[in-house]
Amino acid sequence: MALVVQKFGGTSVGSVERIRNVAKRAIATQKEGNDVVVIVSAMSGETNRLLKLAHEVIAIPEAREMDVIAATGEQVTSALLSLAIHAEGGQARSLLGHQVKILTDGAFSKARIKTIEGSKIFSTVKKGQIAVVAGFQGVDEHGDITTLGRGGSDTTAVAVAAAIGADACEIYTDVDGVYTTDPNVCPSARKISKISYEEMLELASLGAKVLQIRSVEIAMKYGVPVHVRSSFNDSPGTWVTGEDKSLEDVVVAGVAYDKSEARVNVIGLHDKPGVVADLFSSLAEKNVSVDMIIQNATTGASDRADVTFTLATTDLVRAKPFIEEVGKRLGAQEIRYDQDVVKVSIVGLGMRSHAGIAARMFRILAAENINIQAISTSEIKVSCLVHEKYTELAVRALHDGFGLSEDKSAK
Amino acid sequence: MALVVQKFGGTSVGSVERIRNVAKRAIATQKEGNDVVVIVSAMSGETNRLLKLAHEVIAIPEAREMDVIAATGEQVTSALLSLAIHAEGGQARSLLGHQVKILTDGAFSKARIKTIEGSKIFSTVKKGQIAVVAGFQGVDEHGDITTLGRGGSDTTAVAVAAAIGADACEIYTDVDGVYTTDPNVCPSARKISKISYEEMLELASLGAKVLQIRSVEIAMKYGVPVHVRSSFNDSPGTWVTGEDKSLEDVVVAGVAYDKSEARVNVIGLHDKPGVVADLFSSLAEKNVSVDMIIQNATTGASDRADVTFTLATTDLVRAKPFIEEVGKRLGAQEIRYDQDVVKVSIVGLGMRSHAGIAARMFRILAAENINIQAISTSEIKVSCLVHEKYTELAVRALHDGFGLSEDKSAK
């Protein structure tokens, strides 16, 4: 007998009919001999409806009160699913964040889980009931309701699975699993049957938005096996687990792309020690996160240097005045901004033991005449910044070039 | 400086605009130098929307889960009102049932309050914040969410006022106050400026649905002065308070009517000791509440007796088979049912010290040729059952006859 956590997102509980299907699935899992804990999101659209109501009242609502409002979405779903399980002949009991209890810090709207008590969940499943836990929400040490931020139900699911020592955490969503790349861009994309936490983290942060990053971090920290799968069929999805031998044979697990960054070129800075440090510590002080950074080596007698970096496009308007001010102070001759860029990345554990992967990536892009504007690498990832118009071409070329379109990955 | 509890019903918080008005009123009360605690209902229509959703999932939803769902209505309003108070430049903090905490028994959907902790409310108002408490909800000793039943926010308001020793409990509603009778039936109905708890109890239970009966009982038990008034204007409403000299001078405070009962005539029962007791204890066993009871005295040599009683029309279908069965067993010759009846009542503390009030009531009805089908009396109330078609006529005649249409009440 296993202890299984199942998480259903907003689309999977988006209507009474779908809630009924979730109930059937949870009961079926229980009938297979498992103890079942279900984590639910708000019905799709509900959180937005509630936030809109708050914004009608005040332009910038206080985060504490927003969390009181937003938490009702999951509260309703947890009870509705319990009722649906009753309707299907099963036994169930809803549990809210403060009932479980899921203790968080006091950072309203983006709280972090500190501890989760398992006793109420255990006593519920021991009675043969399915424990239906409201996702996304917790309670701080003062008893105030907190929420974990968008996508926080994934985090609840994995953290609950870790806290109760579940054998698996199933994340039901509206996709079949994690793909080698975006199937909308590359029709030959394949579902990955098994991927490591590390690879998943790189893929998630690069835009494959299947699992919230924080939930993957927690799964990795506590070694929770996560199964990402579709709530609309019974096909196996993608297992996200610890590293093992089979995973290390795969050089490139997936190709990701991210259009959310903008490129900034600071041209003709004084080439003196400390100038670059000055530039980026100024931005850090203003809380602007910078992603890729390239400093062009100065050539010949020039005492000038160029620096290129990327930052989130959403931060650009806010950051521009600081960039201009610091650039002027450091003697920049010109500052150029470019939002028409995309960051294309290859991710794979196998890179650690296979040389020349980056060079192969550059060759593949060069063969398509795609100019690389910036490069960054990590142990299991290589990213290239290219013009946005090459997005599809670059992704497909890399997907084919690293053999992801076939049944076996490239060596 | 006073400590004031203000309760706003579903209509008063039915839109963002109305919530804004409630915020302004609470801030104004605070600026007059008071500590303010606000109790809110769900936005009008919201509770029904939530219950409908649950009923789509299952025909008879478990009460525990229903309460989890229903309680979200007040949860949202309490946070929205707090935000609206912020928007108007004030300070506020929402408090839910489990946060206050309002401890109830475990009777889901009709829980009774056991204790209310005042510490969170006190610490909130001491910081200069308006405490916005979600009405209608509490938490049982297991931490499960409970609700107090429809209209339960009145109960929350009065119970909170009693627990924190408030100087007044203001119930804001969509009517101006308590009227001498229903103004829709009798245009000369006047607003009562002051009424005793006892009179209010009789009027409330007779259909003047301004205040929930339970909240009046709690107000009476703890001596909380209640002020029923309109949320749409600043006119003083009706004070519901303990008895005092001025109240006892009023013979009849109001005229009420109630169309929700049906009359049952059981004709020709064996006139033996214990027959009537047998009839009504059988009904009591089936949980059928009976209101008025009249047994006709047997005349002459007959060994038969007739019994008339009333019960809620909503109970009639369920009760009919029992009535038929018991009637047959006790030898009844015929059983007649009549739903076209109305119970008209006069209520007033002054009846205790004024003789002949009932007789005067009968004379007034007789003068209008209204036949009385049944009579019941209590210390401060006389009720007559008449044909439903006489509703308006009877109410107006009694209202005029006891001088309620004028500025001074009749002696």
Domain of A83, CATH number, reads 3.40.1160.10
Q: Which helix (H) or strand (E) holds A52?
A: helix A46-57
Over residues A61-70, mean pLDDT: 96
**Residue (of A393, A386, A383) closest to A371 by Cα position:** A386
Q: Which residue of A has its CA nearest to B120?
A: A142
Q: Which of B174, B209, B233 is the last residue of a domain?
A: B174
Cβ of A72 and B68 within 8 Å? no
Cβ of B65 and A82 within 8 Å? yes
Sheet of A226-230, strands arranged across: A92-95, A130-134, A35-40, A3-8, A168-173, A226-230, A238-241, A194-196
Question: Is the predicted pLDDT of residue A300 greater than 60, yes or no?
Answer: no
pLDDT in tens, A221-234: 999 999 999 988 99
Q: Which of A174, A202, A231 is the last residue of a domain?
A: A174
Measured distance CA(A81)–CA(A27) in Å, rounded = 11
pLDDT of residue A354: 83
Q: How many residues does chain A have?
A: 411
pLDDT in tens, A132-190: 999 999 999 999 999 998 679 999 999 999 999 999 999 998 888 999 999 889 999 99
Q: Residue A366 domain-assigned?
A: yes
**Residue B38 near residue B83, CB atoms below 8 Å:** no
Q: Percent of chain B at pLDDT above 70?
A: 95
Select the residue from A58, A62, A109 to test the B interface by mutation, using most B Cβ atoms within 10 A.
A58
Q: Which residue of A has its CA nearest to B16?
A: A57
- Looking at mean pLDDT, say which of A43-47, A270-274, A285-289 comes out highest: A43-47
User: What total number of domains does chain A contain?
Assistant: 2
Measured distance CA(B337)–CA(B322) in Å, rounded = 14
**Residue (of B287, B301, B203, B193) closest to B237 by Cα position:** B193
**Residue B149 near residue B133, CB atoms below 8 Å:** no
Q: Residue A167 domain-assigned?
A: yes
Q: Residue B235 domain-assigned?
A: no
| A68 interaction partners in chain B (CB closer than 8 Å) | 75-76, 78-79, 94, 96
**Residue (of A335, A331, A309, A307) closest to A321 by Cα position:** A335
- Write the CA distances from A389 to A2, A193, A385, integer angstroms: 49, 31, 12
Longest dimension (CA), chain A: 82
**Residue A15 near residue A44, CB atoms below 8 Å:** no
| B50 interaction partners in chain A (CB closer than 8 Å) | 76
Cβ of B86 and A58 within 8 Å? yes
> Does residue B133 sit in helix, strand or coil?
strand
**Does one domain contain both B32 and B158?**
yes
> Does residue A291 sit in helix, strand or coil?
strand
Q: How many residues does chain B have?
A: 411
Q: Whole-angstrom distance between the N-terminal and C-terminal Cα of chain A?
A: 39
Cβ of A58 and B20 within 8 Å? no
**Does one domain contain both A284 and A388?**
yes
**Does one domain contain both B270 and B159?**
no
Q: Percent of chain B at pLDDT above 90?
A: 73
pLDDT in tens, B8-21: 999 999 999 999 99
Of residues A57, A76, A143, nearest to B72 (C-beta): A76
Question: Is the predicted pLDDT of residue B54 greater than 60, yes or no?
Answer: yes
| B57 interaction partners in chain A (CB closer than 8 Å) | 16, 19-20, 80, 83-84, 87
Least-confidence region, from A161-175, A192-206, A376-390: A192-206
Q: Which residue of B has its CA nearest to A62?
A: B83
Does the N-terminal peptide bond of residue B120 adopt cis geometry, omega within 30 degrees of 0?
A: no
Copy the structure tokens of residue A364. Answer: 């593949």
Cβ of A87 and B54 within 8 Å? no
Measured distance CA(A368)–CA(A383) in Å, rounded = 17
Of residues B61, B84, B94, nearest to A57 (C-beta): B84
Measured distance CA(A63)–CA(A107) in Å, rounded = 9
- Residues forming a β-bridge with B4: B36, B168
Cβ of A94 and B68 within 8 Å? yes
**Does one domain contain both A44 and A161?**
yes
pLDDT in tens, A71-81: 999 999 999 99
Q: Residue B115 domain-assigned?
A: yes
Measured distance CA(B186)–CA(A14) in Å, rounded = 50
Burial B173-186 (b: 16+ CB within 10 A, else e): bebbbbbbbbeebb
| B58 interaction partners in chain A (CB closer than 8 Å) | 83-84, 86-87
Over residues B120-132, mean pLDDT: 97
Of residues A54, A61, A94, nearest to B65 (C-beta): A94
Q: Which residue of A has its CA nearest to B100?
A: A143
Where do the DSSP E strands lie in A223-260? 226-230, 238-241, 254-258
| B53 interaction partners in chain A (CB closer than 8 Å) | 16, 76, 80
Does the N-terminal peptide bond of residue B126 adopt cis geometry, omega within 30 degrees of 0?
A: no
Structural domain including B307 reads 264-337
For chain A, list residues whose CB is within 8 angstroms of any CB belonging to chain B.
16, 19-20, 50, 53-54, 56-58, 61-62, 64-66, 68-69, 71-72, 75-76, 78-80, 82-84, 86-87, 93-94, 96, 98-99, 143-145
Cβ of B96 and A72 within 8 Å? no
Cβ of A68 and B98 within 8 Å? no
Q: Which residue of B has its CA nearest to A61?
A: B83
pLDDT of residue A157: 97
- Name which residue leads in pLDDT, B299 or B230: B230
Of residues A64, A71, A80, nearest to B69 (C-beta): A80
Q: Residue A212 domain-assigned?
A: no
**Does one domain contain both B152 and B289?**
no
**Does one domain contain both B132 and B271?**
no
Question: Is the predicted pLDDT of residue A297 greater than 70, yes or no?
Answer: no
**Residue (of A296, A307, A383, A308) closest to A342 by Cα position:** A383
Of residues B16, B54, B71, nearest to A57 (C-beta): B16
Q: Residue B168 domain-assigned?
A: yes
Cβ of B16 and A58 within 8 Å? no
Select the residue from B72, B75, B96, B98 to test the A interface by mutation, using most A Cβ atoms within 10 A.
B72
Q: Torsion-angle region of residue B223: left (phi > 0), alpha (psi -120 to 50) or beta?
A: left
Measured distance CA(B84)–CA(B19) in Å, rounded = 7
| B129 interaction partners in chain A (CB closer than 8 Å) | none
3-state secondary structure B193-224: CEEEHHHHHHHHHCCCCCCCHHHHHHHHHHCC
**Residue B16 near residue B39, CB atoms below 8 Å:** no
Copy the structure tokens of residue B257. Answer: 């009517």
Query: At residue B387, what is the residue type?
Result: H
**Residue B37 near residue B68, CB atoms below 8 Å:** no
**Residue B149 near residue B188, CB atoms below 8 Å:** no
The CATH number given to whatever domain includes residue B312 is 3.30.70.260
**Does one domain contain both B166 and B274?**
no
Question: Is the predicted pLDDT of residue A102 greater than 90, yes or no?
Answer: yes
Query: How far, rounded to the nearest angstrom, does the alpha carbon of residue A19 sit from its chain's CA centroid?
Result: 25
Half-sphere exposure in the Cβ direction for B153 (13 Å, CA): 34
Where do the DSSP E strands lie in A273-331? 290-295, 304-312
Q: Residue A198 domain-assigned?
A: no
Of residues B65, B84, B94, nearest to A83 (C-beta): B65
Q: Which of A125, A158, A174 is the last residue of a domain?
A: A174
**Does one domain contain both A168 and A298?**
no
Q: A–B: how many Cβ contacts below 8 A? A: 101
Summary mean pLDDT of chain A = 91
Please state the φ and ψ torsions of residue A7, each to the nearest 5 degrees.
-115, 130
Measured distance CA(B211)–CA(B201) in Å, rounded = 9
**Does one domain contain both A283 and A386?**
yes
**Residue A180 near residue A239, CB atoms below 8 Å:** no
Q: Residue A208 domain-assigned?
A: no
Q: Is the dihedral of CA A199, A204, A209, A215 positive or negative?
A: positive
pLDDT of residue B274: 81
Burial A283-314 (b: 16+ CB within 10 A, else e): beeeebebbbebbeeeeeeeeebbbbbbbbee
Cβ of B57 and A83 within 8 Å? yes
> Does residue B10 sit in helix, strand or coil?
coil
**Does one domain contain both A31 and A128?**
yes
Q: Which helix (H) or strand (E) holds A401?
A: helix A391-401
Q: Percent of chain A at pLDDT above 70?
A: 95
Select the residue from A47, A51, A55, A69 to test the B interface by mutation, using most B Cβ atoms within 10 A.
A69
Cβ of A69 and B87 within 8 Å? no
pTM exceeds cut of 0.90: no
Question: Is the predicted pLDDT of residue B408 greater than 50, yes or no?
Answer: no
Q: Which residue of A has its CA nearest to B50?
A: A76
DSSP symbol at B388: G
Compute how many other C-beta atoms are within 10 angstroms of the C-beta atom of residue A276.
18
pLDDT in tens, A370-381: 999 989 888 899
| Strand pairing category for A374-378 and A304-312 | unpaired
C-alpha torsion angle, residues B276, B282, B286, B287 (rounded to 10)? 40
